[in-house]
Amino acid sequence: MKVLITGANGQLGSELRRDLASGRTELGEIPAALKSAQVVGVDVAELDITDGPAVQQYLQNNPVDVIINCAAMTNVDGCEKELEVAFKVNALGARNLAIAAEAIGAKLIHVSTDYVFAGDGFSPYIEWDLVNPKSIYGKSKALGEQYVQTFCSRYFIVRTAWLYGYEGNNFVKTIMRVARKNGSIKVVDDQLGNPTNAVDLAHHLLKLAATEQYGIYHCTGTGICSWYDFASKIVELAGIDCQVNACTTEEYGSPTRRPAYSALDNMALRCTVGDEMRPWEEALTCFFENYTESEKA
């Protein structure tokens, strides 16, 4: 089996490459069909997914069995300022990969987000709930989902949320850096969701890749918390002497409308390949147990 990972240098792409190379994740063995897989990792320098002809040519010359699309513009505030770039990467990029995947008969795993929902609910969103994004980031990702469903017959759309990992930039690393620098941080406590360890997400993406159970999935850490709860736990586990103060979204003054409640329910996983996502506190504790001291500095 041959696997192509786009966005291969990011936190999720890096985790997938590591897991495929070792044959296991922190949660256990990867599917047998993938243990001897030939893995090709590309980032924008090797393949610009916004260039449709280039994507089609690349995959015609280098056919694969599975494409895992981890490439995305995830800077939520940046998307509001550069909506055309967000559209090109998050929507057209997904379309280009879907068309090319269909042409060579490859499976496409497309990673999406909780931001496709309005975020005004009071119970976790299920896969069949209607999308209604409020931000440019969410709208671009929702359109990317539509393109994947339209142009590819062998797709997995996997929505995740509040993702962090050993590589790349993320909320966990930002909180540690700011907490050490300032000794006091302010974090919103009126936005609720599911912190997700990239290890757990990668494990489930590989489980899905070995099947033909196509469709839409949610894949987030178990349990719901606020960004304030998440930040407080990060500071505690990192052993940083810092005061974590709660504030409202209005007090924080974010330029982008973010979901107030965007928790996801992993119903489709439970009904198919199984939901092994860890409680978010457990997954975060494991992250710190495996995060090297040089990285913590």
Q: Which domains are seen in the chain, by residue range? A: 2-170+194-223+262-279 (3.40.50.720)
Q: Does residue 252 or residue 274 have the better pLDDT?
A: 274
pLDDT digits (tens, 9 = 90+) for 210-241: 999 999 999 999 999 999 999 999 999 999 99
Query: Could you tell me if 195 and 283 are in contact, meaning their C-beta atoms sit under 8 angstroms apart?
Result: yes
- Catalytic residue chosen out of the listed positions 137, 147, 164, 166: 137
| Residue 292, CB-side half-sphere exposure with 13 Å CA sphere | 4
- Residue 164 is a catalytic residue: no
CA R_g for the chain: 18
What is the share, in percent, of the chain residues with pLDDT greater than 90? Answer: 93
Residue 297's pLDDT band, with cuts at 50, 70 and 90, is very low
SS3 percent helix, strand, coil of the chain, rounded to 5, is 45, 20, 35
